[in-house]
Structure 1
Amino acid sequence: MCKIMDYGKYKFEQKKKEKEAKKKQRAKMQNVKEIKFRVKIEDHDYRTKVKHIREFIEDGDKVKVWIWFRGRENVHPEIGERLAHRIIEDLSDIAKVEKPPKKEGRNMIFTLVPKQ
């Protein structure tokens, strides 16, 4: 017994299935967002940036946080560490640290990921 079918229609349906599978695969992928802070950041700016980080994490994205040092600020990395720990503490309810704060040249970088 054999089935007679339209080959063009068959290929179209196969492409449609593959496209649908790719859509579902992309939805699970995590994006990496980046937010930059300065060491001397005002309170309102800080709250706004933390709010943006919170939105990104709630969407399921990773967030790479940069704390940027300029000039004489480079001599006092402890100020940047305090800022990093403040950010981590404020977001501890929804995020965990994937990569801890580390000073690299003029920047201190760490990564936050959503809690499972």
Structure 2
Amino acid sequence: MRPTAPNRAPVQEGPRINERIKALEVRLIDETGGQVGVISTRDALLRAEEAGLDLVEVSPDAVPPVCRLIDFGKFKYQQSKKAQEAKKKQVVIEVKELNLTPNTDAHDIETKQNHIRRWVAEKNRVRVGVKFRGREMSHQELGHEVLQQLIKGIEDLVVPEAPPRMEGRRLTITLLPRSEKEK
């Protein structure tokens, strides 16, 4: 039989509150947001109890730790709202991928340019790859020509991140949307 794990207290996520604060002294912020100063944790707990609030450790890494008198439920609500706002402001940049061959026709390139225009308008990066099959590897200059032809039609909208490079049997280049200043 396997030995059982010793009984451990569950690991608490988030800030420590009330009696779980281990520091001897804390820097206290009252319910109005004013700074009370550095006082003993016991005195801070008494103040929290008198006010009917919780003592919440806001900044545990500070010396001494910063604690605040606030209702813990309200504190958690405020934290979740802050997290939601931060998540809203994040911009997700996608990398769209486009595949060509060395013998891609001019009309097909125009169609691919229209795709790139749409993606760049949405502020996405575009990775363009030219795939070589069989004996096409001996004519890599055709792949470079196709890429140059593609970029020439949309150079007012995109800027190459780096020159084209070979990755196995693929010639790839990443195109970034031009910033408003560059246009």
Q: For this structure pair, what is the TM-score category when the shorter chain's length is used for normalisation?
A: 0.7 to 0.9
Aligned equivalents of 1:49, 1:107: Cα separation in 2: 17
- Structure 2, unmatched stretches of 5+, are 1-29, 32-52, 54-69
1:1-116 matches, within 5 Å, as 3=31, 6-25=71-90, 27=91, 29-116=92-179
Q: Distance in 1 between matches of 2:108 and 2:142?
A: 17
Please give the per-residue CA displacement for 1:57-111, whole angstroms capped at 9, x wherever unaligned: 1211111110011112111111111111111111100111111112233111111
Structure holding more helix per residue: 1
Q: Distance in 2 between matches of 1:56 and 1:95?
A: 11
For 1:31 and 1:63, the matched residues in 2 are separated by: 8
Moved over 6 A (4+): none
* Equivalent residue, structure 1, for 2:7: none
Aligned counterparts of 2:137 and 2:126: Cα–Cα separation in 1: 23
Q: TM-score, normalised by structure 2?
A: 0.56
Helix, strand or coil at the partner of 1:103: strand
Q: Which moved more, 1:88-97 or 1:9-18?
A: 9-18
User: Residues 104 and 146 of structure 2 are in contact (CA less than 8 Å); yes or no, is this contact kept in structure 1?
Assistant: no
TM-score, scaled relative to structure 1: 0.84
Number of residue pairs matched by the alignment: 113
Q: With CA pairs under 8 Å and 6+ residues apart, which has the higher RCO, 1 or 2?
A: 1
Aligned residues with identical type, % of pairs: 39
- SS of the residue aligned with 1:100? coil
